[in-house]
Structure 1
């Protein structure tokens, strides 16, 4: 096919699928996906629990040897093969399409429960104005707000969760219906700068609180002995993989919307280091506030430090109630959670919408409704009830530990060792990318990153086999945990058997792509004997 015809095909495909208008928009969208709730409420505590300031060493090692190399692998697959996760894998090799649908299934599940946490943050942004939680933030959160009782599945709706959850889904579906540039890109252009400014203001306000220095001492005082601990290194690798949105389709999908001549290597470095910079900023802000809380309570910082839901919806309301300008801190903190959550949720649901559009050749609006309406209904049914918090906690734990990490590990091993595709993918990155990737990147992607992931998985499995997660009943862990993570790959490979829309190019990169090196040795000049073919 001539270059003119190839370019015409590429332009038609971009018009159909959508594209980011510039590299800057793509970078902001990728940062928006990477910077989510985990950056704010997970990283500070993980760092504190794993050596404090010394954790920076394994964290940076994990970022440079596993996080960024894997990020570039995702970029290479999506950018070269110009499709959603299933289509990109199908073009890489037809038999691997199921990996892409496995990733799509994970994203669908995450979207269903992630929206609920954003809805909580929306309510708490307004609760901060008058400190609605009173003198008992924990009792208020589980009692008056969520109305959580015994661990059982109920259909009792909580109006205080239902209404903001509906609003979150309406906002997300509007963004998705507007398309790649007018929806996702425009949202990122607005939300990411506002998020950085809001969180920077929160950090400044937290640093002015009495006791802030004590919190920072607790976070950054290094425990160098921790570097000899394997779980500390596993925690660093786990944090990087959870944080960068790699391995489950997001970056493959986003990279497919970027122009052919963009520098994907440089973009990956910008996204990786921006994400880590925000995590450091989050650590400073969170532990400065915890230092104040510890001083006000007359206890050590370790006694008030926590992560996840406990940090956001119990510890921070306590801080807001006691701090000067508490309402401002509350609006900045929970507003930041909303902004970070929306940009991440948009990226997660786009993986599913993009896959449906590629497979069935539907319009953007049709695919948005086909994906978004069922996701929203499931979200409302499962997480606006009195049992929603328990189901959410279990699903989140198992999908993160055994969904994202397992599919990431399998994908890396398949691409690196079964398909031997790293040379071609690296060659594609090097056409317009700087600095160039070579043998070092291939070694990191095929050996170091998989080993790091495998260690994280083994340690997580050990913990879950030694004691039931969260002391939840066995039936809940089985249905919402183990069975769910087993069903995801099964459903993924079944979906891969459905036919593609007519005219879909599946044999290798689409017309107009930069091929990179096609093989690692020169072709034979004479045919092999028939008996050895």
Structure 2
């Protein structure tokens, strides 16, 4: 007699999202981060304005969402962390998963520091603590930035909020997949939308807002003939969607087997891009006000990254009516967006350690969280923290995330030749069929586009030292960090899996299970591993 399909012991113990809605919110929380707010507006402005939306949309549809589907397929079919999922797909490919884990660990170490800065600036906004010189305050009084180099001189104003961020994040990770990761997104994503929406509305009513929007959206059609503009669009999509470095593989492994994953991917992809567009409107409306107040063009006040957030926006806050409100909304949005992303980044590392070494969540969280926090505090609460962060962020994004994405696509497409079965898996129960069009995009179009972006970035960094930093700093913190995370894959992949975990593909039917009547998609799952706080299947 047929029996109801059973969830494997491994799956039950590692935890799961309680519903598709929680998964979608968690995925959106991961995708919507600091880059959406401070990177996209300037990238769009600097690459054709309104015309940039064409290559951006093309990149979203031909690279971003298709690769999101690839991550979903790998994690959802193989039911494990990034290393476990790759190992179940092909044992020699496990190193790619650990490469992704290494990238996430490095990002977590410095990402927390930026969230800590935003937390302090949320309170600085109330009384405009930066005074008449936001740049001097940020570089001098707040971060106490030293000359390029490495120092051990602590900065108390960064140390305390950074320690608080790590306490909060580790607490979230200890709570588990649903009670920690899932609930964080369920609570904070609606708050983020409300807070940032209020900021945008307020910015639109500032004098000069129209000039800022004109600067952002006025199309430069000639830009569409430039390869660099198309490269910027593909790069932006990968930087903002949290794809290619293990997050979506891990998250999709926590979703019930019969969930419509392609539809969820469309929601996440378009929600992320919608937030980026909203960020562009809010940021450039505020920059238009700043330009008018200063009597200069928008091009003279437009910037991105740390400069926009901690120098440009404080200057706007000081001049704008109800500036304190704008400041609190802006920096609180950065804190919330950063926290949800940091949680997803750490979950990649914790999940991999749990799977590989047969550990419970508390032990794995301690093993990952304590060293990450100590490194973060040691490197980024000092007077040299800004320089180190800038270098590591640039190189780990360019030659970490993008490079591993290209390698994973080539290996899965042409080495393992797994795309047909991954496409069939994700197409089951969905109105979206991942057929030849998807395999061509993942196997040819997207790797080619990202290879161009990589080659362009590599040539630039070799020809001109990044931001003029000393060669030894670029070699150690830049090229060194990018190489170290790659090396991690080769070191950890040969280590045996503990707990008797099966490396069989859970998507392949186990003849014994088929004879008992269980659907093929639920057969052959891995047995074993760790203790956790969540049990049972989720729907």
1:387 is the counterpart of 2:366: no
1:421 is the counterpart of 2:418: yes
Q: What residue in structure 1 maps to residue 514 of structure 2?
A: none
Q: Contact (CA 8 Å) 1:37, 1:337: kept in 2 or not?
A: yes
Q: Contact (CA 8 Å) 2:105, 2:349: kept in 1 or not?
A: yes
**Cα deviation digits, residues 451-503 of structure 1 (max 9, x gap):** 11101101111211221001000000000011221121112111001110132
Q: Distance in 1 between matches of 2:465 and 2:145?
A: 20
1:376 is the counterpart of 2:370: no
Matched position secondary structure for 2:428:
helix
1:102 is the counterpart of 2:123: no
* Structure 1 stretches of 4+ moved >6 Å: none
| Superposed counterparts of 1:336-415, under 5 Å | 336-415=333-412
2:80 aligned to 83, 98, 101, which one?
83
Q: What residue in structure 2 maps to residue 136 of structure 1?
A: 133
Matched position secondary structure for 1:432:
coil
Q: What's the offset of the Cα at 1:258?
A: 0.2
Q: What residue in structure 2 maps to residue 207 of structure 1?
A: 204
| Superposed counterparts of 1:156-171, under 5 Å | 156-171=153-168
Q: What's the offset of the Cα at 1:12?
A: 2.5
Decide whether aligned partners of structure 1 residues 117 and 514 sit closer, same or farther in structure 2, where only a CA change above 3 A counts. farther
Q: What residue in structure 2 maps to residue 187 of structure 1?
A: 184
Q: Distance in 2 between matches of 1:302 and 1:112?
A: 33
Name the count of aligned residue pairs: 513
Q: What residue in structure 1 maps to residue 450 of structure 2?
A: 453
2:291 aligned to 294, 310, 314, which one?
294
> Unmatched 5+ residue regions in structure 2?
511-517, 523-539
Q: What's the offset of the Cα at 1:65?
A: 0.3
Q: Contact (CA 8 Å) 1:39, 1:282: kept in 2 or not?
A: yes
> Unmatched 5+ residue regions in structure 1?
517-533
Q: What residue in structure 1 maps to residue 536 of structure 2?
A: none
Matched position secondary structure for 2:275:
helix
In the superposition, the TM-score normalised over structure 2's length comes to: 0.94
1:483 is the counterpart of 2:493: no
Q: What residue in structure 1 maps to residue 110 of structure 2?
A: 113
Q: What residue in structure 2 maps to residue 529 of structure 1?
A: none
**Cα deviation digits, residues 322-373 of structure 1 (max 9, x gap):** 0000000000000000000000000000000000000111111111111000
1:326 aligned to 323, 326, 338, which one?
323
Q: Distance in 1 between matches of 2:206 and 2:232?
A: 30
Q: Distance in 2 between matches of 1:513 and 1:174?
A: 38
1:150 aligned to 134, 147, 151, which one?
147
Q: What residue in structure 2 maps to residue 307 of structure 1?
A: 304
| Superposed counterparts of 1:485-504, under 5 Å | 485-504=482-501
Cα RMSD between the aligned structures?
Answer: 1.3
**Cα deviation digits, residues 142-177 of structure 1 (max 9, x gap):** 000000021110100000000000000000000000
Q: Distance in 2 between matches of 1:152 and 1:176?
A: 33
Q: Contact (CA 8 Å) 2:110, 2:376: kept in 1 or not?
A: yes
Q: Distance in 1 between matches of 2:25 and 2:2?
A: 31
Q: Distance in 1 between matches of 2:230 and 2:358?
A: 44
Q: Contact (CA 8 Å) 1:86, 1:97: kept in 2 or not?
A: yes
Q: Contact (CA 8 Å) 2:257, 2:521: kept in 1 or not?
A: no
